Amino acid sequence: MLNFSLSPEQKMLQDMAHDFAEKEIKPVAEYYDQHEDFPWAIVKKAAASGLLGVNVPEAYGGPGMSLLEECILNEELAWACSGVQTSLVLNSLASLPIIIAGSEEQKHKYLTPLVEGTMGAYCVTEPAAGSDVAGIKAYAERQGDKYILNGTKTWITNGPVADTFVVFAKTDRAARHRGISAFILERDWGVKTGKPLPKMGQHASKTSEVFFEDVEVPAENLLGREGDGFMIAMKVFDSSRPAVAAAAVGVARRALEEATAYAKTRMAYGKPIAALQGVSFMLADMAINIEAGRLLAREAAWLLDNGKSNTMEAAYAKAFCADMAMKVTTDAVQVFGGYGYSQEYPVEKLMRDAKIFQLYEGTSQVQRHIIARELTRR
């Protein structure tokens, strides 16, 4: 039997997450957007509230949230500010490869600190390899009981603030995707990061290049076996894309709320503009697409939580929700008219923040490629 309602526990999580977003993030979202500081104060409060590394199992100190619960959490946090939300949930992303392929020793050593407040980063993207993961150039050479890692990563979220890095590099440079391996690194081993990259939106999230110059990595910090990296990365995407889609829903929901409230008070032609069909239909379309996106994200999460393949459904959710958030926030600016273009109103920020959803975790075009590929395999 289908059941679209949240369980009492999930509703409690939703209420708690919204309360945290309302009280701790929303009031300072404008500050972080304008000053581009990293939200350390919020990170500390999130750690104390059990909102870092939320997918980490209880055995390693985490709450062990399901992917569906992560989606619920992400929507509420991104509703307040998706830049802050991204900074907070990166520890869950960095935890995923360790949860998927880590040894017991690796899990105990690295997962617990990611729950307690040590910041993590997930390093795949390179200057010449974004969506084409198999095209990465970073490489690691085995020398006795260690690997020597060289290469450059870019657009690495939390790069400037992270102490733990999960890094994907070639251990067989001739083998394309079969030659990729994954490693856990600590900053003080010689990992270097560049200045935060200037961005259109999500200013509360710090992104940088990460450099590896003859960095020595203990062989025991290899995740799984040599050559497992591509498989690990693909499994990470199946978990991360529904969560990112849910965050896009949160941004769009906030835009709809702001646009609706404004349309009810802004007068034109002797009536609130919400009474004008041109505006009211825009609001209705926003609501329709937000609801559709939420259901797509939650279905993709539910499938994975229940041991089923979700690769296509995760791509459905990521592509739809990213494009939907961009459209909804753009329309919200339109509802505000000239005021929507002003930094004095929140929809301008929401529109800037929304664009990244069409780019990271695989572009909207890559999601369509995945969907087309999966269709031809069936």
* Residues with a known catalytic role: 361
Burial readout 11-27 (b: 16 or more C-beta within 10 A, e: otherwise): eebbeebbebbeebbbe
169/151 Cα distance (integer angstroms): 8
Q: How far is CA 337 from CA 92, 259, 262, in A?
A: 38, 10, 10
300/297 Cα distance (integer angstroms): 5
What does 143-160 look like in DSSP terms, one character per residue?
ETTEEEEEEEEEEEETTT
Helices 229-265, 277-305: axis angle to 10 degrees equals: 150
Which three-class secondary structure state does DSSP give residue 122?
Answer: strand
* Tokens encoding 59: 């055995």
- β-sheet bridge partners, residue 217: 147
Confirm if 247 and 78 have CB atoms less than 8 A apart.
yes
* Tokens encoding 240: 């991360």
336/92 Cα distance (integer angstroms): 36
What does the radius of gyration of the chain's CA atoms come to, in whole angstroms? Answer: 21
Which three-class secondary structure state does DSSP give residue 196?
Answer: coil
